[in-house]
Chain A
Amino acid sequence: MAIGSMLARFGRKKNVTADDAYYTAGQMALIKARFKRKTSGMVAAWILGALVFMGFFAGFFAPVDPTIAGADKDYRRGAPQAVYFWDQNGFSFRPFTYTYAKEKAKIDLKALAGGGLDALDALTSSGALSSSSQNKFTVDEDKRRYLQFFVKGWEYSLIDLSVGDLDLDIRWDRHLFGVEHGQVHLMGTDEDGKDVFSRTLHAVWITISIAIVALVVKLFTSLLVGGVSGYFGGKVDTVMMSITEAVRVIPPIPIYLACAVALAQIDLTSVQRYFAIAVVIGMLDFATLGRRLRTHILTERNQDYVLAAQLCGSGTWRIIWRHLVPSFGSYIIVDTLINFPYVILAETSLSFLGLGLTEPVNSLGVLLQKAQDPDIQQNMIWQFFPVAVFVALIMAFVFVGDALRDAADPYAEKK
């Protein structure tokens, strides 16, 4: 009999039409369905997902260790190494690169040995001593270096779940690809011989993690300010809103700057420093969301369900957190996603000015900072690769956020 009723229920469930599913679907299911209909949003979501995934498992996808330990001393300021399938020597199923050898600098030291100052002048003004002419490489097309997949390399932390004393750091030493001898530099190397491609992959995740921390902090401050201000109203509201208004009026980047300078005085490790910067960016960004939340709660707090909750004996915090804030939930989620690129931009701007994260750390801002260097603009254009990745990342975020905003709008359905 139990089986019979189960079957009956099963059968009934099957009879739910598409129409019924539409009318009984929750808010989130509707947003998801509407989002899926938007092609540009879906494409951007896939690109974004791929970038974030590659960033999160950067250790696996990166062929070279991005720290100074993995720097290639024999290939400093080296150009990107192209990957081929065939050349004049024939076709190969396995992709390969060539062997690159550093050119011996041809400096005529004999002339200098004579002690002639003119020779020294000629040498210094000829540019033969500049680093770009010192680091020239010849391609040996006969020595192929085949790409290998799932190679053993430097050990990295795949996922670090360690909390307190609990050691759950999962480490691995396999990488997606590499070459037999030496290293492969798909996007060239920088002045220290660090691989630009690997650095960029690591930088993506660091930048996104800063944005996540900043947005979580921002969410909590906005909820606190907006919730309290809206629920209590009256004098509390007036005071809090004038402070919010004042914070909104001052341009934020100078404030971040001042805080970053103050942080530079405290002795922090680079990791602590980046969390501190994320917290500062998040804390000072509450104004817009806080105001919207306050307006929403001001109108909602007179609704019947709030009165019902009050009559049932719910406390203030319970009403704010369990009833008022969730009624604004989808807006908060969408707003958070839309704000992702702006938080990333704030961090990048800070690092670009040299006050956010600094050199040994791989963050997109640090890598973008190099684009300002005239030497890199003229001789090492491949160091603009992080710029392209950065623009792609922000674009993907903007497209996804836009599609999500359209999807979350309940009045967006065509009439």
Chain B
Amino acid sequence: MAEKALVTGFEDVRVIADFIGNTWLLWILLGVGGYLYWRGRNSQYFNYVFNRYVLALITLLIVSGIVFSLMEVLPGDCAEKYIAYKNTQGETITQADIDAERARMGLDQPLAVRWASWVTDLTLKGDLGFSCAKRQSVNLALGERFWMSFMFCIAGLVFAYIIAVPFGILSAFTINKDWKDTNPQHTKAERFVNTLGLSFNKLLDLQLRIISYLGLALPNFLLALSIILLYVFAGEPTPTGLFSDEWKSVPWFGDNGFEFGKLQDFLGHIWLPIFVIGWSATALQLQTVRALVVDESNKLYVDAARARGVDGMALWAGYPVRHSISPLFNSVGFDFQRIFNDLPIVAVVIGLTDAAALLIEALAQTNDQELAAGILFLVALVVISMNFMTDAVLAAIDPRVRKSVLGS
């Protein structure tokens, strides 16, 4: 008797744990919202962040609606796929079977009802639906592939920012400056040294601009193709995929502990997608940083600072650069979106097996609606939460932003 009570008590705990485990999304959403609402009662900052949060939730809801109705235009539905799958097993199927299957899956319901149930399933259970072509749940089919794509995008983003921000600032520095120092107050030697420095800067700027124009003109997939082509000409094995064949089946932790050979092989392959993805983002960011810093450097407060005697690095770092960082920081979410946008095509060329490749497969080959909707929704979720977080951080740093609640 006592033993049974113990077991049922254990069961209860497990049921509760499962319930919480399945509904994590709901609790996170409610928790963050509740906390912000509670803090927002008498704080302008948290009020602003709470408003942003509500806006983000509304956007997310609209995104799910758009994604879901967009997937409706894809031909073929889940019942047909299931029936076709059964067909290959040697069963003969009639139209009545398809209709019955459709009724069982709830596909005969109107779009709005299905959308509502999709959204409730997602928020209450964290369940992204069922992938018809893969014959398993979307969560399982995506699994770590989504995290892989996510890491690709983040790595590409970091790559782009590390290159674009300092060089963009340097490039902006050279604008409105002659390549030759003709200041009569300088001595001849000073003029010579300054001229050398300025012309070096101008040359660097020119190179950077050519690179960034090339980055805009050479789309990602062409860049990937050209790199692969170089390998073909050199007669080397092309670094496509994530691992070479010999390491593909080796587990990370083998008999001799951690396999460093596999890590080395992985690093030998991973640079290609990150470089290719980061490349065009870098080009775009270079242009943006340059334009932002140039815009800021023409403003009156920079002249005022200059008149006070601030000069050189102190002037640039303290005034125009500092003020042009915030719009740049604000665009991180959309940079992520842009990079993910390019990822599917790159994945096709390089032969990756991440979520982006799965998305292409789901959209173009198997017409797997729920899988595609799930991936698109997750990407939108990442972009929206990034936008929300950058807004929150920005408002904490820069009080001017807080006034523009609800964009009015």
Contacts and interface: CB of A to CB of B under 8 A. Distances in A.
Interface of A: 238, 241-243, 245-255, 257-259, 261-262, 265, 341, 345, 348-349, 352-355, 368, 371-372, 374, 377-378, 387, 390-391, 394-395, 398-399, 402, 411, 414
Nearest to B348: A353
Contact of B360 (A249, A262, A353, A368): A353
Nearest to A248: B334
Contact of A249 (B73, B218, B229, B384): B384
A250 B379 contact: yes
A75 to B, nearest CB: 25
Interface stretch (B14-22, B58-66, B182-190, B306-314): B58-66
B222 interface: yes
B63 A246 contact: yes
Contacts of A371: 222, 225
A377 B214 contact: no
Contacts of B407: 241
B55 interface: yes
Query: Most chain-B CB neighbours within 10 Å: which of A254, A262, A265?
Result: A254
Interface in B86-117: none
A252 B341 contact: yes
Nearest to B67: A250
Interface in B225-245: 225, 228-229, 232
B352 interface: no
Interface of B: 55, 58-59, 62-63, 66-67, 70-71, 73-75, 176, 213-214, 216-219, 221-222, 225, 228-229, 232, 298, 333-334, 337-338, 340-342, 344-345, 348-349, 359-360, 363-364, 367, 372, 375-376, 379-380, 383-384, 387, 406-407
Query: Most chain-A CB neighbours within 10 Å: which of B55, B59, B338, B359?
Result: B59
A371 B227 CA distance: 12
B66 A257 contact: no
Nearest to A294: B407
A257 B360 contact: yes
B71 A249 contact: no
Q: Is the interface of A mostly helix, strand, loop or mixed?
A: helix
A254 to B, nearest CB: 6
Contacts of B55: 242
A245 B376 CA distance: 15
A258 B363 contact: yes
Nearest to B224: A372
Query: Most chain-B CB neighbours within 10 Å: which of A245, A374, A390?
Result: A245
A230 B221 CA distance: 38
A315 B184 CA distance: 62
Contact of A265 (B75, B333, B338): B75
A243 B62 contact: yes
Nearest to B377: A250
A377 B75 contact: no
B217 A262 contact: no
Given A251-B341, A253-B342, 9 more contacts: A242-B59, A249-B59, A250-B380, A251-B340, A254-B363, A257-B344, A261-B367, A262-B75, A394-B216
B337 A391 contact: no
Contact of B66 (A250, A252, A395): A250
Given A255-B70, A258-B70, A371-B222, A353 B364 contact: yes
Contacts of A394: 216-218
Contact of B345 (A258, A352, A387, A395): A352
Nearest to A252: B341
A96 B363 CA distance: 50
B356 to A, nearest CB: 9
Given A349-B219, A372-B225, A261 B341 contact: no
B156 to A, nearest CB: 14
Contacts of A247: 66
A242 B360 CA distance: 27
A250 B372 contact: no
A199 to B, nearest CB: 18
Nearest to B232: A377
Contact of A250 (B176, B333, B363, B376): B376
A243 B380 CA distance: 13
Given A395-B217, A411-B298, A254 B376 contact: yes
A374 B225 CA distance: 10
Contact of B62 (A246, A254, A257, A348): A246
Contact of B219 (A252, A345, A399, A414): A345
Contacts of A411: 298
A246 B66 contact: yes
B364 A262 contact: no
Query: Most chain-B CB neighbours within 10 Å: which of A249, A259, A353, A399?
Result: A249
A346 to B, nearest CB: 10
B380 A261 contact: no
Given A238-B406, A243-B62, A353-B348, A258 B379 contact: no
